[in-house]
Structure 1
Amino acid sequence: MRLGRTLPPAAAPVSLWAVANGLKGLMRGASEVRRFEGELKAYHGSDHVFLVSSGKACLYLILKALQRIHPDRREVVIPAYTCYSVPSAIRRAGLRVCLCDIDPGTLDFDHTCLERIFEERGHGLLAVMPTHLFGVPADVPAIRKLTDGTSVTAIEDAAQALGGSVRGQPLGTLGDVGFFSLGRGKAFTTVEGGVVLTSEGDLAAAITEELALFDGYTAPEFVGLCVQAVALALLMDPRLFWLPKALPFLKLGETHFDTDFSLKGMSGFQAGLARGWQKRLARAASARRRHSGAWAEALNGTDDLRQPEIPGPAGALLRYPLLVADSHCRQAILLESERLGLGVMTAYPEPLDRLPVLKPHTHSPDCPGALQVARQLVTLPVHPYVTGRDRQRILNVLLE
């Protein structure tokens, strides 16, 4: 067990001042939630915004709304390498998962594979989900060309991409509907939370009907949110992060397929935590862009470390992804990072086609690209707690 300064792999700073605002928001209740909704609408230029308890709840909400509109369509196309919460939400909504391989060079769909899926299974597809993995922008316009003239909805998975943009357009607004996660370790956090954005009137009406079925937070749950917020404010700092990291029951960084998650509307406490979010997000995004750009420059031309193809300059990524071709080298990097507390991590241990629990509910072609990413990926921290000295120490480990 390491004691001492330890970088989290991803972090969104929370202050005790923000926790105080959360308590004030709890007192204001629904008006605080409406304020946050209005600010998100203005920032993203979306006609409709819905606030819920998690990114998983966002996706479930969208899918249940789409089922009201297209009850005869049952499949959702997702990348074969993504967060396990995505198929969890699809299965909770009673739908089938259709996996599409990814391109290891872009972390986006393999578009040849995707076109084949549309040709062979388009009649039963409810939605397709371009995903900005780690904040690396997916080619959503290419997806829209496939869905134009069909009844397939483009759901933009921007769970890890709040604050990112492509050619001046905010990520999360490129599809028919998009969503963000505001969970721990995302670009911005309200402890737990999610945001749905759309300018499609019919879909917004169906989402409104589904959201009315969600619960609210109970008094004990408010206490739990407050305790977690204080813990985030104190323990995400690298000087103290070694403590929660050393506690195995917290299961930090682990991801699981689990359909038993809460479905709640966002509370005034969470909306209050978000007060001043535009400035806070801008500061954090500036740090992430700076660190991402530094990684791109420092690692340019390294033969054994493959960087993703990022449209334009390195953006406000959540983590900086690298593919390490040599498995022994990858393991050595991870072990040395763990020893030194440098925050270099893997992500999801297996591609989705290798999850036994999903097999009965999944259409799954071969996904060699997803398997390659699962076996070779490491991610570098880019959050505001990272210093220039941290970057140099990580670089030394990568290049040894």
Structure 2
Amino acid sequence: MRLNVPLTDSEELAAIGEVLESGFLTQGPKTAEFERLIADRIGSTSAFGTSSATTGLHLALHAIGVQPGDEVIVPDFSFPATANAVIQQGAIPVFVDIELDTFNIDPSLLERAISPRTTAIMPVHAFGLTANMSAINEIAARHGIPVIEDAACALGATHRGREAGTLGLAGVFSFHPRKIITTAEGGLISTSDPELAAKIAVLRSHGAVRGSHFMSFIDAGFNYRLSDIHAAIGIAQMRKLDFILERRRSLASIYDDLLSDVDGVIPPSVPEGDLHSYQSYVVLLEDDVDRDAVIDRMREADIETTLGTYSMHLQPYFRSRFGIDDRELPAATRAQRSALTLPLYPQLENGQLESVAASMRQAVAGSRLRP
């Protein structure tokens, strides 16, 4: 059983064929249509397709004016693309610990991380659960610091009734095949700030503006465009979005019930007032369980599992450059060691989840660490 399988069919194939027949393959009308669909769905004024979420994060940071030597606050527990985008801008990621029950950045630790060089806060919506944006925005507003949402996993998630991607100055989504919907590769920046939107529109495509006869280059921009081929896949995927979200949430609820009495396994928690998109279903194993041994035992049962994501300060590059002691980030360090992602995608049958839960019970029982 695979960890994830994108939900695609003849609609996506037909959409690709239509673009190929049109001869318009780069960013064009399909990209604009996809952008409108996302913006309308989440209630954002503007949306800009990008070649990936990573380039989207970098472009957003550049557009808000993050400079070399500036500091950007990020959660330590995230895919390294979050911090990589900061470093690509010449800035310094400041790693903040997480709340273990949500895997999201701990707002109570933000104040001590803010310095005179802090120019942005970039919370991540871990696995499709929004960070506590109410608390984060209150702190950011008090200090006059813009907030960029790394909403890579969170299309369709909400915080107190508001859509992910509309909770900060800008939000960045991913459409990698493991995300809620896919464009094969691709990302998108959403914003309702007209000044920021104007900058992103120019910077995304070489810093160019098109005149009546040719382009003028008014800034040193990037080639971070989303092609019409990728956007056409995304348009077909958007027609499936409601079903995908409903099915993921239904399957997650079944997992919650099946795993509630499995000794050593802590199912994910969702704060009241929030709606999880369940891009991934990630559990926390108790301290005395060897997570990697569980992965091996689940593989023997032909079930693919993996770690939750990465505690960035533990990765070789960040360890070498910043040398942060594990004791400064205890929750993220624990999550790196003990978080486990289980298979979750709409095509799974309820009975398959029962098999996963039964295998988990055996795998965890056989992976206890000796005192």
Same fold (TM over 0.5): yes
Is the 1:330–1:378 contact (alpha carbons within 8 Å) kept by the matching residues of 2?
yes
Query: Which whole-Å deviations, capped at 9, do the CAs of 1:165-207 have from their partners, x for residues lacking one?
Result: 2343221111111010011211110110001000112222222
Structure 1 position 60 matched with structure 2 position 58: yes
Which one of 383, 390, 396 corresponds to residue 345 of structure 2?
Answer: 383
Stretch of structure 1 that moved more, 297-306 or 138-147: 297-306
Q: Distance in 2 between matches of 1:182 and 1:43?
A: 15
Aligned to 2:366: none
Q: CA deviation at 1:138?
A: 1.1
1:116 aligns with 2:112: yes
Q: Which amino acid aligns with 1:85?
A: A
Structure 1 residues 79-90: aligned runs within 5 Å: 79-90=75-86
**Cα–Cα, structure 1 residues 214 and 321, in superposed 2: closer, same or farther, change >3 Å?**
farther
Contact conserved, 1:292 with 1:314, CA < 8 A, in 2? no
What's the CA shift for 1:302? 4.4
Per mean C-alpha deviation after superposition, the further-off stretch among 23-32 and 77-86 is 23-32
Query: Is the 1:96–1:362 contact (alpha carbons within 8 Å) kept by the matching residues of 2?
Result: no
Q: Which residue number in structure 2 is paired with residue 399 of structure 1? A: 361
Range with greater deviation from structure 2 (286-295 or 363-372): 363-372
| 1:188-237 deviation digits (Å, cap 9, x = unpaired) | 1011000100011222222223213279xxxxxxxxxxxxxxxxxxxxxx
**Aligned mate of 1:170, from 132, 145, 163:** 163
Counterparts in 2 of 1:314 and 1:199: CA distance versus 1, 3 Å: closer
1:289 to 223, 233, 249: 249
- Cα distance in 2 between the residues matched to 1:39 and 1:62: 20
Distance change in 2, residues 1:75/1:307 (3 Å): same
Q: Does structure 1 residue 132 correspond to structure 2 residue 125?
A: yes
More divergent stretch after superposition (337-346 vs 358-367)? 358-367
| Overall identity of the aligned pairs, in % | 25
The structure 1 residue matched to 2:89, chosen from 79, 90, 93, is 93
The separation in 2 between residues aligned to 1:291 and 1:298, in whole angstroms, is 10
Q: 2:143 & 2:109 partners in 1: Cα distance?
A: 18
* Structure with more relative contact order (C-alpha pairs < 8 Å, separation 6 or more): 1
Cα gap change, 1:166/1:12 in structure 2, threshold over 3 Å: closer, same or farther? Answer: farther
Per-residue deviation, 1:80: 0.7
Alignment match, 1:345: 306
Residues 102-155 of structure 1, C-alpha deviation per residue, up to 9 Å, x if partnerless? 12122111223222112xx1x211111121111122111111001114331111
Q: Confirm whether residue 370 of structure 1 aligns to residue 370 of structure 2.
A: no
1:196-275 counterparts in 2 under 5 A? 196-213=189-206, 263-275=223-235
Q: Deviation per CA, 1:336-372, whole angstroms, max 9, x where unpaired?
A: 2212222322133x52112332257659571111100
Matches within 5 A, 1:26-105: 26=20, 27=22, 28-29=24-25, 30-67=28-65, 71=67, 74-105=70-101
- How far, CA to CA, are the matches of 1:358 and 1:327 in structure 2? 27
- 2:238 equivalent in structure 1: 278
Shift of residue 328, structure 1, vs aligned partner: 4.4
Unaligned runs of 5+ in 1: 1-5, 216-261
CA distance in structure 2 between the partners assigned to 1:337 and 1:303 by the alignment: 16
CA contact (8 A) 1:73 1:126 kept: no
Distance 1:329 1:97 in 2: 30
- Structure 1 stretch displaced more, 280-289 or 203-212: 203-212
Q: Is the 8 A contact 1:126 1:152 kept in 2?
A: yes
Are residues 376 and 13 of structure 1, via their aligned partners in 2, closer, same or farther at CA, if it must alter by over 3 Å? same
How many residues were matched structurally?
Answer: 342
| Residue number in structure 1 paired with 2:6 | 12
- Select the residue among 119, 134, 137 that pairs with 1:144: 137
Aligned with 1:324 (options 285, 289, 297): 285
